[in-house]
Amino acid sequence: MPATAFNVLAITGYDAALSVYKNPAFSSCVSVAGPFSGMPITPGESDDVTELIEQHSANVPMAEHITSQDPPLHTRTRGLMNTLLTPKRLKENEDFMWRLADQQLDTFLANGQCEFLADYAKPFSLLVIADLLGVPAEDHMDFAAVFAGKNVGEIGSQAPRRTTRWSG
């Protein structure tokens, strides 16, 4: 029985999730706002929303992310990523991540505090991706400055800011 009027199912359990994951009949069109946010449809209009997803995916929050893409776009994107994510490059990036984590921890200890998301999670993930993409180390701070004020993964400017502060 569908969990919603749009025939969206909640899958629990490893075996069921694996079965759905491997079945191309299921879409990967999901986002933080729900699977069909931004789609111009109402419940019961159509059982097949494949064409609507394709036509209106730009209206779905985070639809450009590979985890929300269906084949053939997902296949092309994954192919591009696979040329970048070689075992050698991932090992180099792992070494960079360890150095970066040490640098950030040293900064937190020197400051005596840390706002976890703003001071650690966001800059860490941004610089790890910058390194993975080949952004030269001397450009990392400029790269980070461009994205410093961006709210990645939030919908609208009214999204609440949650803080988790460490004071040592």
- Close Cβ partners of 5 (under 8 Å, ≥ 6 residues apart): 43, 44
- Residue written as tokens 């400029």? 142
Q: Per the structure block, which two tokens stand in for 88?
A: 């050698």
pLDDT tens digit at each of 168 positions of the chain: 445 555 666 788 899 888 988 887 777 665 545 555 556 666 566 667 677 777 777 776 677 778 778 888 889 989 988 888 888 988 989 999 999 999 989 988 888 888 888 888 888 999 998 898 888 999 988 887 877 665 544 444 444 444 444 455
For residue 134, what pLDDT is reported? 87
pLDDT attached to residue 157: 47
Per-residue confidence (pLDDT) for residue 8, from 0 to 100: 64
Q: What is the pLDDT of residue 118?
A: 82
- With contact defined as beta carbons under 8 Å apart, do 82 and 54 qualify? no
What sections of 23-86 are H helices per DSSP? 50-56, 73-84
